[in-house]
Homo-oligomer: A and B are copies of this chain.
Amino acid sequence: MARTKEFDRDEAVRRAMVVFWEQGYEATSTDDLLRAMGIGRQSMYDTFGDKHGLYLDALRCYQTEYGANMAECLRSQPSPLAALREFLLSIPGATPKERARGCLSVNATAEMAHTDPEVATVLKSSGALGLGMLERIVREAQHKGELNPKLDARVAASFLLTTIGGLRLGAKAGTPPDTLRAVVDFTLAGLKSQ
């Protein structure tokens, strides 16, 4: 038997995730990561292979954490539409720092999706997860009479995912929260009136 790891792998990934989230992949150096994770260089290479492997783990971590957060938010209200609204409003409702940081998946898509197949794969599964949750909430809303049952729930979910991406992008670009809130209401009004 041998020595046991001194650091918590999950915690280390979570800290690396924040750095990648704030700075992007290319702009982040391994030193940045090591400092944030509080571990030695060799530990990082032993545990994650290389910077790229760590990035993939960070993306998966984000997907898990953020997916859980989204699921929770969408289940927080008895009314599906109200829950959806609350989720959408969480984007303009975030702190300025959070809004500037944006969404790691959006950032990764813009930076890496077209050149890095492994990243693209992780992002695809992440998108599918979100799409599934949105489709479910739309169906629930239809079932409860909050939305037109003739709506194609899958298309509506794609539409919502598109809007969410756009809102996150807008938040990062510095669009004022009030404008983003107006867009949320406009989006939901369009959904309801169809």
List residues of A whose CB falls within 8 A of some B CB: 22-24, 26-27, 100-102, 106-107, 109-111, 113-115, 120, 123-124, 127, 152, 155-156, 158-159, 161-167, 169-170, 172-175, 179, 182-183, 186-187, 189-191, 193-194
B contact residues around A110 at 8 Å (CB): 24, 102, 106-107, 109-111, 169, 172
B contact residues around A183 at 8 Å (CB): 155, 158-159, 162
B contact residues around A175 at 8 Å (CB): 127, 158
Pairwise interchain contact B186-A156, C-beta atoms closer than 8 A: yes
The 5 closest A-B CB pairs, nearest first, are A190-B190, A166-B166, A110-B110, A26-B26, A162-B166
B contact residues around A158 at 8 Å (CB): 170, 175, 179, 182-183, 186
User: Nearest chain B CB to A91's CB is how many angstroms away?
Assistant: 10
> In the bound complex, how far is the Cα of B100 from the Cα of A163, in angstroms?
19
| A contact patch SS | helix
User: Nearest chain B CB to A2's CB is how many angstroms away?
Assistant: 39
